[in-house]
Structure 1
Amino acid sequence: MMFCILFSQYRILQHFNISPEEYTVIFTSGSTAAFKLVAESFAWTPTGPEEPGSRFFYLTDSHTSVVGIRGLTTLMKVPAVPIKPHEICKVGIGGEDGNLTALEDQIQDKTPHLFCYAAQSNFSGTKYPLLWIEDIRKRKLYPFNKTAGEWFVLLDAASYASTSPLNLALHQADFIPISFYKIFGFPTGLGALLVCNKSAHLLRKVYFGGGTAAAYLAGQDFFIPRQSVAERFEDGTVSFLDIIALKHGFDALERLTGGMQNIMLHTFGLAQSTYRILSALQHSNGSPVVCLYTDTEFDSPDTQGPIINFNVLDENGGIIGYSQVDKLASLYNIHLRTGCFCNTGACQQHLGISDEDIKKNLQAGHVCGDNIDLIDGRPTGSVRVSFGYMSTFEDAQTFLKFIVSSFAKSPARINRSVVSQVTAVATESPVQNVTSDSNGDPLLQQEDVLGGGSVLDNSSGPEKPFNLHQSQVDPERNNGDVITDGSLTKQSCTGKAVTLTNIYLYPIKSCTAFEVKQWPVGRQGLLYDRNWMVVNLNGVCLSQKQEPRLCLICPVIDLERGILIIKAEGVDPLTISLKEESMEQYQFCQSKVCGDRVKTYDCGKKAAHWLSMVLGRQCQLIRQSSDFNRDLKKKFAKGHGEMQSASLSLVNEAQYLLINRASIQHLCEQINMSEKASSTALMKTEELIQRFRANFVTSGTRQYEEDEWTEVTIGSFSFQVMGQCSRCQMICIDQETGKRSNEPLHTLSLHRGGKIPFGIYLLNRSLVFSSNPTVLTVGSSVFPRLGNNTEHQTSPGHEE
């Protein structure tokens, strides 16, 4: 085993053109752990009252793992200094020369300082000069020439090394964190720190774990570390099985691609052509379709990596939130990164987000990694596309087709001069057959991007190209407007009573609906609605997003017999008692729903076996405990003090979801208009209703009139409208077959925009003021109260 690990270390050094005499490989759990190791072990000299100590400089365009080092340096009384990229320059060129005599004196000072920067920005793909390494050491760059002492360089190579050759024989940084997952996709949880042997003395061992000690005493402060630098810092048992696999990863990379130089040229070619098309892509009115965030013109792989960062714009120049872009991309089997990518500095620089904006966004509820993409109309993050060695021109075509068909106002245009540039980039260009309008300006058709046909597979995408000219959207549209025959007209409800046409409950979260004609109302919503859910062996909830076959499981509640009957084709039904008297025999557990911790109990081995057999994977059925009270979401409770005591079942957001049949029928027409040339079956209204998984369906008089409702009375019940429901990819699953498509989310996005709203959340106000719940009945009159509903939150989908 030790020989295999040593061989893997040699293979890693060989990949970076260095030898064991020059560098040592320290295995870590990832590149972040490598940064942490340097931060904790570097020979920092604290700043005293009279004597200056070490300094930690870092580029503002850095990953969180770099910026986080300042947390440790602050404790050690070492100042952390952020440096913007444009602030680094040659001494005497935009900076200060300094006195050469004084400079010689400063070099005699041996105080160690550390500068960290990324060889390639993980935000924009900008490649920063590797020549900085030597220039910083020799103090040829401002502002490093102003600080007495010795400078050492921590080079973040995680992004750079994934697609570019890094020759450390030419650019000998002192410490280089790398990620093997980013290089060839395996294994996760394994990285390394490459340490220049000349600088290894700067890493001082403080903590020692198993395997790192040559000798120590348990009762005295006596510890002698191992002599090898790697053995000194690899605490505990290294992931030797993954380490052994590294050789095969490097060998496969070489065999498939011919080396990192080929990978760099291939991925840059994809990024360059895609960038140029995106930069030239225009709506029909000539406005750009995307706003690109870049420091280069993608003219050389020496200065730009295969990363494109952007936000999508509507025809009026407004930002389309990154969460909406991400939802629609999934319909095309495209995986995007969205947000700020753990690089707040670059995000602020390119998006113009101030420090105060960051703090205000936090107060507004936005945190890193969430889906709050717009606050006051301004973006909190962006969209990133990265190309790797396995990416193809077909992938780029799929991505461009997605942008055009989902966001470009038809007929989309591309700049003629850019077309000629793009066609010269590669022999196979994604842009072909460009036609012109009456003014001679190029028009970008769907087939221009696709090269004549869709490249999507049938399992998750459309079976034919989407005709842009069939999508008629007025440039004056906004959320809540109604599309009628291609034009938008603002509709207002007359206040006339409509009817409750359908009542649905979903006893098991994400399984098939159970339709009823009348049903009791409980304190959490419809009685037994989403009281159960299916989880994997780790207790994580399964939804149709991960397991579409859940829609083939049909729960039925028999109130007279007091049982839940669960049916599925090909197996005998499973029966579970609705009573909880015997629940003591089951194991209580903690589960999470939409970020909330809920008290549940396991429904037993029989239910687990039945579900595992139907779904073909190990899973369990759990039920929410009746004595557990799950509070209303704070964003909904705000301003409704009398309803803060309202309770939720295992729903994602609110007690009830209502949709309007008139809106459904209108959306169905829009979908079928776009599918006239298709041989596929047209969408049916009832099928579409099932996909939206509402509790109440009403016979509204006008499409999208529900957007303006603030309160709703159904029979003897009074409901408060808590906001609109933001839709996700789950509505694209056929509830009868479990198959995915790109509808209705694609059409809904074209005509509704924003957070893709459809349907409204309701909270039962009647139960707050009455202790006598009754039943809801199909055919009951529905009376809405009108008002400006824009103040309500648009929240994640209720579909599960």
Structure 2
Amino acid sequence: MADGAAQPGAELLAFERFREASAQPLAYGYGHGQRGLRELRAREFGRLAGTVYLDHAGATLFPRASSGASLATSWKTFTNISSKLTQDTVEQVRYRVLAHFRTSPEDYSVIFTAGSTAALKLVAEAFPWAPRGPESSGSLFCYLTDSHTSVVGMRTVAAARNATSIPVRPEDMRSAEKRGAAASDPDCQLPHLFCYPAQSNFSGTRYPLSWVGEVTSGRRCPRARTGAVVRAAGRGLLREHLPAGPVAHQADFVSLSFYKIFGFPTGLGALLVHRRAAPLLRKTYFGGGTAAAYLAGEDFYIPRPFEDGTIPFLDVIALKHGFDALERLTGGMENVQQHTFTLAQYTYTALRSLRYPSGAPVVRIYSDSAFCSPEVQGPVINFNVLDANGCVVGYSQVEKMASLFNIQVRTGCFCNTGACQRHLGISDEMVKKHLQAGHVCGDDVDLVDGQPTGSVRISFGYMSTLEDAQAFLKFIIATRLRPQSSQPVPQAAPGEAGTAPAETEAQSTVPATVPTTVPTTGHITVSTVPATGHRPNPSPREDTPTACRAGNGWPPAVGAVHLHPPLEATRPLQAPPEKAAAAPGGGLGPHVITNLFLYPIKSCAAFEVTQWPVGHQGLLYDRSWMVVNHNGICLSQKQEPRLCLVQPRIDLQQRIMVIRAKGMEPIEVPLEENGEWAQICQSKVCADRVNTYDCGEKISSWLSRFLGHPCHLIKQSSDFQRNAKKSRGKGQPAGAQATLSLVNEAQYLLINTSSVLELQQQLHASDENGREELFPMRDLISRFRANIITSGASAFEEEKWEEISIGSLHFQVLGPCHRCQMICIDQQTGQRNQDVFQKLSESRERKVNFGVYLMHLSLDFSSPCFLSVGSQVLPVLKENVECHDLPASENIRMLSPKILFFPQLKLKFLFYNDLYFY
């Protein structure tokens, strides 16, 4: 449920004022005070320096001392091999687990599993489901809709055993509790199962343990008796919500994962089985440790409810040090509960108080409690950020912004679709609609038709500090409520956004030819309109090669390609002056390519050219190489900003790539794989598997020295084809498939200088210090790492294009590029500045889009396949772009091709320069 509002405000709530206003005593810092907690944090969690980690509900962090002690004990156990010693140590850990949850071996057994999910799966598969039949309704599996996927997934096992599953809403449980209703059950002796979380992993709501007793006695959940499962893997504060205390509150089964408590070991959980429920488990498989006795020659087997096979005993032994460290550092789970709840309550109160100048709330909190007590609320806050108009800001955008402030949060639906639907008001039909729109669990499609598909979650752990909470709150204030300049943001007016690039020596050799055709659809009629005297820009040289062979191995005639040195050594980017003269007729000037870039090594510096050959995968050698770490994982500037300082240049004549970096001797890499390269079976780019070659130890050592850690340079295999997910456009035959290099999504990225200019003006208008050169056009353009830079169109007009033609090449516009944090990296220095991302987020209506992706519609290799600076760009607008008003003048002058659709007249016009067609 969306939370209500507090008093308007935009300032950070003082912690002392919050404590004074609290109706109950608040505990913070385990008695050490803020200074003592800072020292503990620095000593045990020094790796968090500069980072605010707020995803403890996903996985908490382990302290340095416990990890060291664990390794020492594990090594000692390993070197002193004794099955008896190991078995005794494991049994001691079982007792320690039960003691942590205030129970004993007389009541529960501990079965170690691969995690909480494996524990639940074990219960589902071993439970004695009674199937439905003519004379029996069969067993029931009831589960709370506010449950993790691993709980809901148990219904598939129940269905396979012909049992009935019943989803139970939290409000139904609460209403039944108020009524004190008991359900009649004609099959009351059959085994039934009810499962619910001790704490919601979505909102942090803690559900009453009293439900366990009411379920097992038949007073809760229609006809569900005998079995009750508590999933306790939601957080580290498990002790307070596990089956402790009266027998009526002891669940039959409890599942948990230990990394949620200690941060390690991952892949280890447990199923606590009550003695009364142990006989119910009927395993269909038995292995070592599970059989009390069996015969190999006949079907004789006496089960024992323990683990199958050899358990990960070193990981189990490590748990002891987790319990020891937690007790030593905090004094016990009661202290942890009070500490983390205080932080959550303070953050919740501060968030509710944040208001826009209009009084509108900054966030919408999803909670079933008012954060008044740790008994009903865990240290989890789930919310969505709103803009000043009350519209939700997509969670993906919030996560990207948070990462720029070194804040780690969790976003999405958190594997809890039921809670997500209930709190966000998403109907079953909407979930299916979102799926049809391309949204699946785990992706970053955060808004569909303006409605959120998920939310943002922060959660605190025992090592979290007040500074963490306040850093998060300051981030929200800085990105949503920072003072904006009263000066109106200047817009890119007609005539201010582009001139043709200054002629260079390389360009002067290109003849000024005029295309004789324009893109059309269907029959056209030419009508005379007075000419303006403007001519299209030059097309590529006529003496370029007349055929381009497939693949990246084709060596074009070097004399036909004009190269520039890296960005730092070349002429300034052709950015439009702010006061460029307006073109005749009020247009923006000829629409041409002003700059061309390729990026031979993914995430490294740009290589600027004035003319370059085109292959099947885009510009020849664009993103053909990438840098990977010692595990073979692709590195990007998000993890390694210094990659932008690595400058590759392609020498087509010598068939080499020369790589430079400050303080390093240049190094050469062959353009094609050779006998010295070791083949790597596969690597991964944007979830796609690609076949690659390692470029050798020499370049690996060079890169490792510059970046300061082991890494390799690998190249996509020339005989490997990576197909684009969205590639077939209009006019392409069925089955046609575009191929990709190591790019993320498409063969080309295009940006419009008018769009950059508008962003620059917005950045300067909001700069309180008035530093006009804080974001020069040159630097802004380089941040967006596009292949094609154009001028002559209005700001963001490129997002309305459906197709474009450049000479004989035709491209489909796939859609806008959804930007990530890389645009915050200055490509000349590697330094970060979040203002660009934040301003773009504010100005683009909650979506950080900039530039458009292009893909070849088709490639005709019988004609020249080059892109050149100065070539004219001919766009075709999307069919749904409408124009309802005509200019008053009879002479309609359009300086770039546009389609105008007049629905009231049922006419469509194509305007090209001073001619119009219909």
Would the TM-score normalized by the shorter structure come out above 0.5? Answer: yes
8 A Cα contact 2:182 2:219, kept in partner = no
Alignment of 1:304 with 2:377, yes or no, is yes
The structure 2 residue matched to 1:195, chosen from 239, 251, 273, is 273
Unaligned runs of 5+ in 1: 409-466, 477-481, 483-491, 792-800
Structure 2 match to 1:450: none
8 A Cα contact 1:522 1:773, kept in partner = no
- Equivalents in 2 of 1:339, 1:91: separation in Å? 31
Structure 2 match to 1:424: none
8 A Cα contact 2:144 2:196, kept in partner = yes
Structure 2 match to 1:358: 431
User: CA offsets per residue over residues 322-353 of structure 1, 9 Å max, x none?
Assistant: 11111111111221211111111111111111
The structure 2 residue matched to 1:608, chosen from 685, 700, 705, is 700
Structure 2 match to 1:151: 226
Aligned-residue offset at 1:156: 0.9
- Equivalents in 2 of 1:528, 1:53: separation in Å? 64
Structure 1 match to 2:638: 545
The within-5 A match list for 1:782-793 is 782-787=873-878
- Equivalents in 1 of 2:319, 2:385: separation in Å? 39
Structure 2 match to 1:455: none
- Equivalents in 2 of 1:789, 1:694: separation in Å? 27
The structure 2 residue matched to 1:579, chosen from 648, 672, 696, is 672
Structure 2 match to 1:343: 416
Alignment of 1:124 with 2:195, yes or no, is no
CA 1:748/1:90 → structure 2, altered by over 3 Å: closer, same or farther? Answer: closer
8 A Cα contact 1:162 1:184, kept in partner = no
8 A Cα contact 2:826 2:832, kept in partner = yes
8 A Cα contact 2:198 2:241, kept in partner = no
User: CA offsets per residue over residues 624-676 of structure 1, 9 Å max, x none?
Assistant: 23333333323x53656459433221111111111223332432343344444
- Equivalents in 2 of 1:748, 1:498: separation in Å? 24
Letter of the 2:738 partner, please give it.
A
8 A Cα contact 2:825 2:831, kept in partner = yes
User: CA offsets per residue over residues 473-527 of structure 1, 9 Å max, x none?
Assistant: 89x9xxxxx9xxxxxxxxx993631442321111111111111222112222111
- Equivalents in 1 of 2:660, 2:289: separation in Å? 56
Structure 2 match to 1:82: 167
More moved, 279-288 vs 559-568: 279-288
Letter of the 2:728 partner, please give it.
A
User: CA offsets per residue over residues 30-76 of structure 1, 9 Å max, x none?
Assistant: 11111111111122223333234322111111100000001111111
The alignment partner of 1:162 has SS state of coil
CA 1:239/1:613 → structure 2, altered by over 3 Å: closer, same or farther? Answer: farther
The structure 2 residue matched to 1:706, chosen from 786, 798, 804, is 798
Structure 1 match to 2:136: 51
Structure 2 match to 1:797: none
The alignment partner of 1:763 has SS state of strand
CA 1:132/1:495 → structure 2, altered by over 3 Å: closer, same or farther? Answer: same
The alignment partner of 2:367 has SS state of coil
Alignment of 1:591 with 2:666, yes or no, is no
8 A Cα contact 2:818 2:848, kept in partner = yes
The alignment partner of 2:471 has SS state of helix
Structure 2 match to 1:73: 158
8 A Cα contact 1:119 1:160, kept in partner = no
The within-5 A match list for 1:501-580 is 501-580=594-673
8 A Cα contact 2:677 2:693, kept in partner = no
Letter of the 2:203 partner, please give it.
S
- Equivalents in 1 of 2:403, 2:774: separation in Å? 22
Structure 2 match to 1:759: 851
- Equivalents in 1 of 2:295, 2:756: separation in Å? 75
Structure 2 match to 1:436: none
The structure 2 residue matched to 1:768, chosen from 859, 879, 883, is 859
- Greater relative contact order (Cα < 8 A, sep 6+): 2
Structure 1 match to 2:190: 111
Aligned-residue offset at 1:217: 4.5
More moved, 23-32 vs 718-727: 718-727
Alignment of 1:628 with 2:720, yes or no, is yes
CA 1:764/1:135 → structure 2, altered by over 3 Å: closer, same or farther? Answer: closer
Letter of the 1:310 partner, please give it.
F
Letter of the 2:227 partner, please give it.
F
8 A Cα contact 1:499 1:698, kept in partner = yes
The alignment partner of 2:111 has SS state of strand
Aligned-residue offset at 1:7: 2.1
- Equivalents in 2 of 1:749, 1:305: separation in Å? 32
More moved, 594-603 vs 114-123: 594-603
- Equivalents in 1 of 2:196, 2:183: separation in Å? 24
Structure 2 match to 1:242: 315
Structure 1 match to 2:124: 39
The alignment partner of 1:470 has SS state of coil
The structure 2 residue matched to 1:778, chosen from 834, 844, 869, is 869
Aligned-residue offset at 1:255: 2.1
Runs of 4+ in 1 over 6 A off after TM superposition: 471-474, 678-681, 788-791
CA 1:245/1:114 → structure 2, altered by over 3 Å: closer, same or farther? Answer: same
- Equivalents in 1 of 2:829, 2:290: separation in Å? 57
- Equivalents in 2 of 1:367, 1:493: separation in Å? 46
Letter of the 2:421 partner, please give it.
Q
More moved, 321-330 vs 674-683: 674-683
Letter of the 1:654 partner, please give it.
A
- Equivalents in 2 of 1:579, 1:383: separation in Å? 46
The structure 1 residue matched to 2:244, chosen from 169, 177, 184, is 169
- Equivalents in 2 of 1:764, 1:156: separation in Å? 51
8 A Cα contact 2:386 2:393, kept in partner = yes
The structure 2 residue matched to 1:619, chosen from 711, 728, 740, is 711
Aligned-residue offset at 1:770: 5.0
* Fraction of identical pairs, as percent: 57
Kindly tell me the number of residue pairs found equivalent between the two proteins: 700
Letter of the 2:778 partner, please give it.
E
User: CA offsets per residue over residues 720-755 of structure 1, 9 Å max, x none?
Assistant: 322111110111223233333323212211222332
Between structure 1 and structure 2, the one with the greater Rg is 2
The alignment partner of 2:835 has SS state of coil
The within-5 A match list for 1:219-234 is 219-226=297-304, 229=305, 232=306, 234=307
More moved, 340-349 vs 735-744: 735-744
- Equivalents in 2 of 1:594, 1:367: separation in Å? 16
8 A Cα contact 1:340 1:347, kept in partner = yes
CA 1:243/1:273 → structure 2, altered by over 3 Å: closer, same or farther? Answer: same
TM-score of the two chains, using structure 1 as the length reference: 0.81
The alignment partner of 1:159 has SS state of coil
Alignment of 1:660 with 2:758, yes or no, is no
Unaligned runs of 5+ in 2: 1-85, 492-496, 498-584, 883-918
CA 1:92/1:674 → structure 2, altered by over 3 Å: closer, same or farther? Answer: closer
The alignment partner of 1:19 has SS state of coil
More moved, 54-63 vs 571-580: 571-580
The structure 1 residue matched to 2:392, chosen from 319, 337, 341, is 319
- Equivalents in 1 of 2:716, 2:178: separation in Å? 68
Letter of the 1:199 partner, please give it.
A
- Equivalents in 2 of 1:471, 1:386: separation in Å? 37
Root-mean-square deviation (CA, aligned residues, Å) is: 3.0
The structure 2 residue matched to 1:367, chosen from 424, 437, 440, is 440
- Equivalents in 2 of 1:219, 1:543: separation in Å? 59
Aligned-residue offset at 1:703: 3.5
- Equivalents in 2 of 1:742, 1:223: separation in Å? 65
Structure 1 match to 2:149: 64
Aligned-residue offset at 1:155: 0.4
- Equivalents in 2 of 1:677, 1:255: separation in Å? 50
